[in-house]
Amino acid sequence: MNIKIGDYQVTSDPLNFKLVKQVPKTDDEGNVIEDEHINRFVGYYPNFERVCLALMDHELRVSDAENLAEIMEVLINVKREITSVVSEMKLIDHKDVETDC
């Protein structure tokens, strides 16, 4: 599995799901280098559901949310992004499936 969800990349092997975040690369002085990114490891997870929960948790921790309304906005936006990617995956998977009904 190799799925992109926003700035995150989800990969898997037979035992785990791995979540990494793509962040802009900076030089020694902290200046962002155009069009260059590095992958920052977030964690390993036993299933896709836990990856999604970790992604929401990580986005919430790095957000600037200062009240409940802003927290809800962050969580809703992440959920929409995950739902969008999963919906696209379902459409792609079902296009290639032949039925004998």
Taking only the tens place, the pLDDT of each residue in 30-77 is 888 888 889 999 999 999 999 999 999 999 999 999 999 999 999 999
pLDDT at 93: 56
Q: When comparing pLDDT for 97 and 32, which is higher?
A: 32
User: Between 99 and 59, whose confidence is greater?
Assistant: 59
The DSSP code for 99 is -
Task: Name the residue ranges covered by the structural domains of the chain.
Answer: 2-95
Q: How large is the average pLDDT for residues 5-23?
A: 94
Sheet with 32-45: strands ordered across: 2-5, 8-12, 17-26, 32-45
Q: Find tokens 């809703």 and name the residue.
A: 76
> So what's the pLDDT on residue 92?
60
* pLDDT at 71 (0 to 100): 96
Map residue 98 onto helix, strand or coil: coil
Amino acid type, 92: I
* Longest CA span, the chain: 63
